Amino acid sequence: MKSQKEKMLSGELYFAGDEELTKERLKARELIKKYNSIPEEQPEKLTATLKDLIPNGGKELVVQPPFFCDYGYNIKTGDGVYFNFNCVILDGMEVSIGSRSMFGPNVQIYTASHPLNAKERASLLEFSKAIEIGEDVWVGGNVTICPGVKIGNRAVIGAGSVVTKDIPDDVFAAGNPCKVIKKIEK
């Protein structure tokens, strides 16, 4: 029989209040609290704590505090990724981010979702869908990226957008819901 964590990581319905998952979220919250309270004048301490929180982060990962996530270990980045202030990643499933991608302030990335059926939702079960963000992507401030979305390489997502569907390579996309506005020349 699968554990609740195994169900979560495979995209099945799972109970987030499970003891193992709760313990892992609490561990992440302690690291988040620590990270968000470290002064900028202590870059070595910031880097070390961020590595504990996001062990699969690439070289030169920059995350401006405050920052929030569920687990941290499901966030995988390439090198030179930048997050501005007040970003949130609900990483019940993998969030993969390519090298040199940048995120404006208040970006929200959600792998977590809930059943549409009210009775099923009342069971307190939820599910997650992986998110994949390519290389050299620029995500403007206040963007929400919904579960299961893939954003292509070199795409630009306009500020305030809600990304509900996949976005291809080399486009500028914006809006609610986010749609391709134009192709970007390479």
Q: Which residues are catalytic?
A: 114
The two tokens of residue 53 are 């929180």
What pairs with residue 133 in β-bridges?
A: 97, 151
Where does the chain have alpha helices with state H? 4-9, 19-37, 43-53, 118-121
DSSP state at residue 57: -
Report the SS3 class of residue 139.
strand
Can you tell me which residue has the tokens 């050299």?
Answer: 136
